[in-house]
């Protein structure tokens, strides 16, 4: 896929449909972490500087194909306006997606795509209707590129497609880790989602020097055969964090690394009494002189929370 910066002036003064990653944490209707919103700003500003009208597509949470006020993207609007310096339009949810029309504002955010069941089923009619709103498509949502959803794999069937500035940087950084990492390469995995973390263990096992595992997946992996380079953290008695001994052991290994990949937290970091493991590991990742690559919504939130 060609990058957006190399595609101009071909698409100058046209309308862009931009899939962004605004799946941010909300608390009482307020955005807790703006990192993912900030990541999209460079592409949006680049398009506006080239005279493009921009329609932003995004999702948040898992509303299961129906309207859920707690998952509305409306609280993102004032943050975007502050970051970009322009007024942002908002296309509200309508049950019938065929009534969605192009707004007149230079930049518009469409309501949470996952309010429509057709998004996650990759419905061709939904993809085609969205595609008709614009002249070209830009993918700036690295975190959901693996999803077979309408806004990721459906729309590109109908529009010329480009990679956003942050997406291109993500792919470059990940390629560096996968294809030519400085060693030792240390991979830190945590969290609770076995369906997404187990494939990472399998993918990194052949290339990593150490894979350090905490969180609930450490319990799950105890029941499975694991490669020799995988170290499972011991958990606290309530299983909500890794032990201080494991956290310090992981930190020592990280400090000797030349490349570090971190995805997932070591425990239920949202609870103050279960933050210590994640905090010790995160501080090591922050302090090491290694090339570091960090991903995952909870990981981003935790690192922001710890400063």
Residue 93 has pLDDT above 90, yes or no: yes
Q: Is pLDDT above 80 for 30? A: yes
251: left (phi over 0), alpha (psi -120 to 50) or beta: alpha
User: Model confidence at 306, in pLDDT bands (50, 70, 90)?
Assistant: confident
Mean pLDDT across 284-296: 92
Closest-CA residue to 252 (of 217, 271, 280, 225)? 280
Question: In the prediction, which pLDDT does 196 show?
Answer: 79
pLDDT score recorded for residue 25: 83
Judged against a pLDDT cut of 90, whether residue 33 lies above it is answered with no
Average pLDDT over residues 270-287: 93
Respond yes or no on whether the N-terminal peptide bond of residue 9 is cis (omega within 30° of 0): yes
| Region 72-77 average pLDDT | 96
The per-residue pLDDT for 157 is 98
Distance separating alpha carbons of residues 182 and 151, to the nearest angstrom: 35
Read off the pLDDT band of 103 (50, 70, 90).
confident
Question: What's 241-258 look like in SS3?
Answer: CECHHHHHHHHHHHHCCC
Task: Answer whether residue 241 shows pLDDT above 80.
Answer: yes
């Amino acid at each position: 896929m060609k990058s957006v910066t190399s595609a101009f002036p071909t698409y100058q003064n046209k309308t862009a449909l931009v899939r962004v990653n605004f799946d941010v944490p909300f608390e009482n209707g307020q955005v807790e972490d703006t990192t993912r919103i900030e990541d999209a700003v460079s592409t949006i500003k680049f398009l506006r500087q080239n005279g493009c009208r921009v329609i932003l597509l995004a999702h948040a949470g898992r509303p299961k194909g129906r309207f859920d006020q707690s998952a509305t993207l409306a609280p993102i609007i004032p943050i975007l306006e502050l970051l970009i310096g322009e007024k942002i339009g908002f296309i509200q949810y309508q049950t019938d997606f065929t009534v969605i029309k192009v707004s007149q504002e230079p930049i518009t955010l469409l309501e949470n795509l996952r309010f429509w069941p057709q998004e996650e089923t990759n419905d061709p009619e939904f993809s085609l209707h969205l595609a008709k709103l614009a002249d070209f498509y830009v993918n700036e949502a690295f975190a959901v590129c693996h999803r077979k959803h309408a806004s990721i794999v459906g729309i590109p069937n109908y529009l010329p497609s480009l990679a956003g500035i942050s997406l291109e940087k993500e792919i470059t950084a990940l390629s560096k880790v996968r294809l030519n990492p400085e060693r030792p390469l240390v991979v830190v995995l945590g969290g609770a989602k076995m369906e997404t973390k187990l494939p990472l263990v399998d993918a990194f096992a052949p290339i990593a020097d150490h894979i350090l595992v905490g969180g609930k997946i450490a319990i799950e992996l105890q029941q499975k055969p694991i490669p020799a380079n995988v170290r499972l953290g011991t958990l606290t008695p309530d299983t909500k964090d890794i032990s201080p001994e494991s956290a310090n052991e992981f930190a020592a290994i990280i400090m000797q690394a030349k490349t570090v990949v971190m995805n997932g937290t070591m425990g239920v970091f949202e609870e103050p009494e279960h933050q210590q493991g994640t905090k010790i590991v995160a501080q090591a990742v922050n302090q090491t002189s290694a090339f570091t690559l960090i991903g995952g919504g909870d990981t981003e939130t935790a690192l922001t929370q710890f400063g």
